[in-house]
Amino acid sequence: MNRAPDLPVQGAFGAMRVGLVTETWPPEINGVAHTLHHMAQGLLDRGHGIHLLRPRQHRGDQGGADLPGLTDQVLPGLPIPGYSGLHFGLPARGAISRAWRAATPDVVYLATEGPLGHSALAAARSLGVPVVSGFHTNFHSYSRYYKLGFLEPAVAGLLRRFHNRTDCTLVPTEHLRAELTGQGFRNCAVLARGVNTRLFNPSRRDEDLRQNWGVQGDGPVVLYVGRLAAEKNLGLAVEAFRALQARSPAARFVLVGDGPAAAELKRQHPDFVFCGMRTGEDLARHYASGDVFMFPSTSETFGNVVLEAMASGLAIVAYDYAAAREHLRDGHSAALAKLDDAQGYVARARALADQPERIRTLGDAARARSLSVDWDHIYEGLESLLRSHAWEGRANGSAAAHR
């Protein structure tokens, strides 16, 4: 069991002490880890201190701050079945309570709803610390993709009870806020997501990379970026690509990412290009070297990859929900089908082969829209919200008594 770490001493306002609890963190590659790292960096840049609590990622993982002002405390965890490299945290209320008694946070942010999150919530409540949670993953909807759809109502109920014990639940879109509120979630607030438009940029297009993919002339490259898993609805992406390919035989389908469905996809579709995991400028180069971005998922809370594709200037084929609904318009900046209208989704992909000039038009409009989604604005909103809950906690005399 870890001893209580040496936490930052700041904590009154001005600077806050923020407890951050999550089951995933870089170098793990997924949308939640990406978002939380950005959120943490934004708070640290503004002079706040963060106590990060997360499961050990591998046997040699001893924690250690990778960002100035961040204290990284690792706790026991176990691998998540079917999610290679990811772990879930075990109950750890005692360790968390000891650390937070040594340096009580002004506010806690919970990004995890498993045993670790429940432990942190109980510890925070016992100390009277305000708690903000984030709804980062539609775990209840995942069950239908693993033939466990009968569990969906029960999982949704567990998530609702967890989040309703926190002071506020952050969601990335107004649509999701309304949906969760209708399901009985209380005190939901919207905190949007941002994108680095300097990193993800059409100027990174690489013709040599396209040649390596086997692109002939101006044959369109259809790109998918994300986890290769059942909940991503990849069967529809394949169907839509084949429909586009029937009209444009030179089209290539390039998949960036990995997951449990990778081996079967490679076996069934040897003509597809599988690039594996990519990060940083290499990932940005892969985005910019595509033409059409395929996003068939119906299980997202947001979909950071949509913003990255927008910033990279790609024509996006997606459902009209989550990030796409928030930032794109069908026929103007993307090709959007009604949610769960698979035939409409395929038809929109096919239409891009019939009108290839629209690929550039939609991509340019998507890039222009991405320029308004600035991370600095998101950081300011997060800081303001956490500060308001921290102030409320002090006004109620909750956390102050435990310093």
99-148: per-residue pLDDT in tens? 999 999 999 999 988 899 999 999 999 999 999 999 976 443 444 443 44
Q: Residue 18: beta bridge partners?
A: 50, 107
Region of 29 on the Ramachandran plot (φ > 0 left; ψ -120 to 50 alpha; else beta):
beta
Residue type, 85: G
Q: What is the pLDDT of residue 153?
A: 59
Q: Kindly report, residue by residue over 260-312, the tens digit of the pLDDT.
A: 999 999 999 999 999 999 999 999 999 999 999 999 998 887 889 999 999 99
Q: With beta carbons less than 8 A apart as the criterion, state whether 257 and 326 touch.
A: no
Q: What is the pLDDT of residue 243?
A: 98
Bond prior to 220 in cis (omega within 30° of 0): no
Report in angstroms the alpha-carbon separations of 116 from 18, 35, 133.
17, 19, 13
Q: What is the pLDDT of residue 156?
A: 76
* Separation of alpha carbons 205 and 198, rounded Å: 13
Q: With beta carbons less than 8 A apart as the criterion, state whether 127 and 100 touch.
A: yes
Asked: is 17-194+375-402 a CATH 3.40.50.2000 domain? The reply is yes
* CATH 3.40.50.2000 boundaries in the chain: 17-194+375-402, 202-370
Q: What is the pLDDT of residue 396?
A: 67
SS3 content of the chain, % helix, strand, coil (to 5): 45, 15, 40
Query: What sign does the dihedral 180-324-82-280 (CA atoms) show?
Result: negative
Both ends of the chain: CA-CA distance in Å? 23
* Separation of alpha carbons 44 and 336, rounded Å: 37
Q: What is the pLDDT of residue 149?
A: 45
Nearest-CA neighbor of 71 among 10, 136, 135? 10
Nearest-CA neighbor of 172 among 193, 201, 155? 193
Give the list of residues 6+ apart from residue 220 with CB closer than 8 angstroms, or none: 244, 248, 250, 251, 252, 291, 292, 352, 353, 356, 359
Phi, psi of 72 (to 5 degrees): -105, 105
Helix/strand/coil for 54 = strand
The arrangement of secondary structure in 202-370, i.e. its CATH architecture, is 3-Layer(aba) Sandwich (3.40)
Q: What is the pLDDT of residue 85?
A: 65
* Separation of alpha carbons 370 and 351, rounded Å: 24
Pick out the chain residues at pLDDT < 70.
Answer: 1-14, 62, 64-66, 82-85, 137-154, 394-403
